[in-house]
Structure 1
Amino acid sequence: MRSGSLSLASTDYLQLGGGRAMGRYSTLLCAPIMGKSVDQMLNKIGTAKAGGADLVEVRLDYLNNFNPRQDIEILVKQSPLPTLFTYRPKWEGGEYEGDETKRWDALRLAMELGADYIDVELQVANEFLNSISGRKPENCSIIVSSHNYQHTPSVEDIANLVARIQATGADIVKFATTALDITDVARVFQITVHSQVPIIGLVMSERGLMSRLLCPKFGGYLTFGTIEAGMVSAPGQPTLKDLLDLYNLRQMGPDTKVFGIIGKPVGHSKSPILYNKAFKAVGFNGVFIPLLVDDVGKFFDVYSSPDFAGFSCTIPHKEDALRRCDEVDPVAKAIGAVNCIIRRPSDGKLIGYNTDYIGAITAIESGLRGSHSTNGSSGSPLAGKLFVVIGAGGAGKALAYGAKEKKARVVIANRTLDRAKELAELIGGEAISIAELENFHPENGMILANTTSIGMQPKVDETPIPKQALSSYSLVFDAVYTPKMTRLLREAEESGATIVSGLEMFIGQAYEQYERFTGLPAPKELFREIMTKNY
């Protein structure tokens, strides 16, 4: 095991052509079952089977009034799926607080009655395995597990942990750690991809989600998917439906290219839905995942393999990402922000682009043309208009640049006036504070574009500008697209303005990103169909 740099480029663990025996055991999809009664559990197992699970993890520690022989026998005989029995004690993150002897008796009973797998904690594995003295049924595999709810150790420490688990005589090695940063997941991938035994390596928390989604790529024996959102047995578990229908788990393998959206927050993004459904429809071997990133530079330093092929970039990282790129498209450089990054296959360099301004400006122009506010001009309907941009971040820069290119007169409104002044000076416009917007109405027929996250889920009751100040605007655009109808757009429409949703910008900017990701023409009708169905 190579244990130096964590940079994925400096190790060979992402190259899965040989070594790792993906062919020996493809990744299984396991649904945790946490019922209070046997009947509840059987009902949930039926749901798991209908949802596409390969097996179920029966959490005995959740049962009330547990009668071991009777309950386990019913569960084994009546389960339509293979069973993994876990009886997790409190000291390893479970619910059981009773006598260890009774707990072990129940696990031995599960083996005897036909369980396909049992899970035993590393802390007691040697004693437990000695207690069965080689009397393990042939059709039952023993998983020996270790859970770290505090952090993710170094590669060396994880490798030592795996060796200790193997030394117990485990059939399958399982370890779960906790991600404090998304780069922690790389250490787990480094271990799983090199393992010569069946291994389950998962990273808990939202920052560790990638470990669960990419199991088939990096050699995991199984990953867990819940039968309903929120009903998790460990932090950060996705649903069965998302794993199968959104992330196309069954189509994923060692050669699958990884794409994702870098942001903070990122869970609200519709990008994974759009790209994954499009990838599947055209047969492109890629997966698009949410990437909750705290430090862009650190992220790119660690995930520097060609397997991580391209990224969308959203709030608040668009400017930091530009500084991290090796090369930047001239338009993106002029804007000062990127929202699309491609890793060039020939040399691994990061190339930054900005597709925000195209998507947004095109959507705004279409809105103006639709409202017949073109003054008979054959050029852009934005020409000569007073265009007010709220926000001086990456998206604000893109909108201001795009509006200026279309010969609009641009005003930047920002919470921090100094930042507004910086951008205004850069593009040749004026600067005001957001507080001044309430009384800013030098003329009628102005254009307003909100590029901040004000009004985004979950804070849907917020708006960057009072309703009474909206009467001077002929068109209002909001880059926020979750929800589709923000408070700003609703009040603008009530005030008589044409409104343009951030969804239009989202779809417009995605066309070019998709083409850069795949090398294929963007399926524009499919994009609109996907977003219509999934909004």
Structure 2
Amino acid sequence: MELVVDSGVSRMEGARKNPTLICAPIMADTVDQMLNLMRTAKASGADLVEIRLDSLKSFNHRPDISTLIQHCPLPTLFTYRPVWEGGMYDGDETSRLDALRLAMELGADHIDVELKAIHEFNSSLNGIRPGKCQVIVSSHNYHNTPSVEELGDLVARIQASGADIVKIATTALDIIDVARIFQITVHSQVPIIAMVMGEKGLMSRILCPKFGGYLTFGTLEAGKVSAPGQPTIQDLLDLYNFRQLGPDTRIFGIIGKPVSHSKSPLLYNEAFKSVGFNGVFVHLLVDDIATFFQTYSSLDFAGFSCTIPHKEAALETCDEVDPVAKSIGAVNCIIRRPTDGKLFGCNTDYVGAISAIEDGLRGLYHTPVGSSPLAGKLFVVIGAGGAGKALAYGAKEKGARVVIANRTYGRAKELADSIGGQALSLAELSSFHPEKGMILANTTSIGMQPKVDETPVAKEALQYYSLVFDAVYTPKITRLLREAEECGLKIVTGVEMFIGQAYEQYERFTGLPAPKELFKNIMATY
């Protein structure tokens, strides 16, 4: 596959850049249902199907396996997973292994045999391996991810068992566990399927083409998984541009906890695709940001957005911080400099939010050219975390009088004192109305999915405001914004802030001008 470099952007020629396969797990009660799902898998873009024999309610070995092979429109992988390895089969072991051997004889492309059963299986073959079938020998760890040394020993044992393809699946207790699987994958001398299960292991399933994985599993439907953390085929192909990932693909991501709600991968991956930029943007569920950066210190991990609750801690982990971000005390964008690998942190939150709020106010008030409609206004910020600091700083810079309301009064006062503002506890906010026409900005996660019925302030108190902004953008219209609209107030959604702050981040990530219209169009459809 040829890479044509144009103005610093890798343009990927051809439909596919990597040989890594997408395998669709097929789980159903009957053979007929499996055949329908196989056709769906082919239409969805899968390369092969994993036929989970242990999911069948009734199973007649020879005719059913023959039917499944003859009528499958894709190459096949037969798995008959016992309960002791996380599957559903709880019957006779000899019968189970006989079914897998029969699948080989009848023309299966792959079978999956557990490491714990491979010796018995090999013995049953009597030294004769029928057909073209490749044997995957697998090991599943549903408790943790062992050390690199232990994983290396495990791979060696699987290889020594006569495996054509090695498969290891571990469980992520922390996102740093994935680094060990990447290390094992990239150094493997044989075809390897290696993944980390669970949400913290998601990037192992997406990035396996970069590190040389044989295949990844993609489901036909969200939530219907054969192991924890599997993405859909549609997400692999359309969201993450899976076919275009390769060893030289640069990795970007959104660091947060929680993080699965973030639309950042949708925004940036679509933008990357539109210009042929060789990068991928993923969700990164991070517990400790300092440990994350210590673990993923490679230049391959090139840039990051940062969200709740890591924006303040991110500032401490960076080698260099933009003066504005230092003043705010929070970082939401981190770039790894290609020259020396150092981390540079900046803050784009305040630009995106303040610009969106100013635009909203200009529709309410006449503002002299060259001045901000925030000048002189009473600006109430809910929250004293990273986003709260960014908005408080930005509003102060525009000449607003700033009030900070926070659950913990001490944190509100600390922020208020740093910008010459006033502090309130969140409990006091509903009775705080010194004047009409105030501006309210929620920067907390109150009202964010799944807790969409929550709001930081009573509806009755909203009558004293002229504009209400909510940094939450999932859902787009929070309870706070809905009630503000019902009171006849101007509202500004978190989507507008999200788009505004993303412009600068994209330009820092890629060195290219932000595709502003594309960003707006993408977010308008969600």
Assess same fold via TM > 0.5.
yes
10, 28, 45: which one aligns with 2:38: 45
1:154 aligned partner: 147
Shift of 1:134: 3.2
- Report whether the alignment pairs 1:509 with 2:501: yes
192, 195, 215: which one aligns with 1:199: 192
2:129 aligned partner: 136
1:9 aligned partner: none
* TM-score where L is the length of structure 1: 0.94
67, 89, 103: which one aligns with 2:96: 103
2:60 aligned partner: 67
Residues 241-280 of structure 1 correspond to what in structure 2 (within 5 A)?
A: 241-280=234-273
Moved more, 503-512 or 493-502: 493-502
Residues 327-476 of structure 1 correspond to what in structure 2 (within 5 A)?
A: 327-371=320-364, 373-374=365-366, 376=368, 378-476=370-468
Task: Measure, in 2, the Cα distance between the counterparts of 1:511 and 1:335.
Answer: 19
C-alpha contact (below 8 Å) 2:325/2:331 kept by paired residues? yes
SS at match of 1:468: helix
Task: Measure, in 2, the Cα distance between the counterparts of 1:250 and 1:210.
Answer: 15
Shift of 1:26: 1.6
Deviations 1:303-346 (A, max 9, x none): 00000000000000000011000000000000000000000000
Segments of 5+ residues of structure 1 without an aligned counterpart are 1-22
Task: Measure, in 1, the Cα distance between the counterparts of 2:368 and 2:489.
Answer: 20
SS at match of 2:477: coil
Deviations 1:364-422 (A, max 9, x none): 00000122x24556400000000000000000000000000000000000000000000
C-alpha contact (below 8 Å) 1:318/1:337 kept by paired residues? yes
1:188 aligned partner: 181
2:519 aligned partner: 527
C-alpha contact (below 8 Å) 1:386/1:410 kept by paired residues? yes
SS at match of 1:444: coil
Task: Measure, in 2, the Cα distance between the counterparts of 1:25 and 1:436.
Answer: 58
Aligned residues: 511
Task: Measure, in 1, the Cα distance between the counterparts of 2:90 and 2:177.
Answer: 31
Shift of 1:138: 4.5
2:481 aligned partner: 489
SS at match of 2:430: helix
Q: Which amino acid aligns with 1:263?
A: G
Task: Measure, in 2, the Cα distance between the counterparts of 1:101 and 1:205.
Answer: 32
- Report whether the alignment pairs 1:292 with 2:285: yes
SS at match of 1:504: helix
C-alpha contact (below 8 Å) 2:17/2:246 kept by paired residues? no
Deviations 1:184-242 (A, max 9, x none): 00000000001110000010010000100101001110000000011100000000000
Segments of 5+ residues of structure 2 without an aligned counterpart are 1-15
Deviations 1:84-137 (A, max 9, x none): 000000000000000011001100110011100000000011221122133223
Task: Measure, in 2, the Cα distance between the counterparts of 1:336 and 1:264.
Answer: 19
Task: Measure, in 2, the Cα distance between the counterparts of 1:275 and 1:342.
Answer: 15
Task: Measure, in 1, the Cα distance between the counterparts of 2:449 and 2:201.
Answer: 22
1:11 aligned partner: none
Shift of 1:531: 1.2
300, 318, 321: which one aligns with 1:325: 318
C-alpha contact (below 8 Å) 2:17/2:243 kept by paired residues? no
C-alpha contact (below 8 Å) 2:205/2:217 kept by paired residues? yes
CA RMSD of aligned residues (A): 1.1
SS at match of 1:439: coil
251, 262, 274: which one aligns with 1:281: 274
C-alpha contact (below 8 Å) 2:367/2:373 kept by paired residues? yes
Task: Measure, in 2, the Cα distance between the counterparts of 1:97 and 1:468.
Answer: 60
Task: Measure, in 2, the Cα distance between the counterparts of 1:25 and 1:304.
Answer: 24
C-alpha contact (below 8 Å) 1:151/1:180 kept by paired residues? yes
Deviant stretches of 4+, over 2 Å: 374-378
Task: Measure, in 2, the Cα distance between the counterparts of 1:24 and 1:187.
Answer: 24
Task: Measure, in 1, the Cα distance between the counterparts of 2:419 and 2:341.
Answer: 32
Task: Measure, in 1, the Cα distance between the counterparts of 2:486 and 2:463.
Answer: 9
Task: Measure, in 2, the Cα distance between the counterparts of 1:106 and 1:429.
Answer: 73
Task: Measure, in 2, the Cα distance between the counterparts of 1:261 and 1:133.
Answer: 52
C-alpha contact (below 8 Å) 2:80/2:100 kept by paired residues? yes
* TM-score where L is the length of structure 2: 0.96
Deviations 1:467-494 (A, max 9, x none): 0000010000000000000000010111
C-alpha contact (below 8 Å) 1:341/1:352 kept by paired residues? yes
Task: Measure, in 2, the Cα distance between the counterparts of 1:174 and 1:425.
Answer: 57
Deviations 1:273-329 (A, max 9, x none): 000000001100000000000000100000000000000000000000110000000
SS at match of 2:166: strand
Q: Which amino acid aligns with 2:166?
A: V
SS at match of 1:426: helix
25, 30, 33: which one aligns with 1:32: 25
2:169 aligned partner: 176
- Report whether the alignment pairs 1:479 with 2:471: yes
281, 293, 305: which one aligns with 2:298: 305
Q: Residues 24 and 420 (structure 1 numbering): CA distance in 2 closer, same or farther, change over 3 Å?
A: closer
Q: Which amino acid aligns with 1:228?
A: E
C-alpha contact (below 8 Å) 1:118/1:140 kept by paired residues? yes
Task: Measure, in 1, the Cα distance between the counterparts of 2:500 and 2:131.
Answer: 57
Q: Which amino acid aligns with 1:97?
A: D
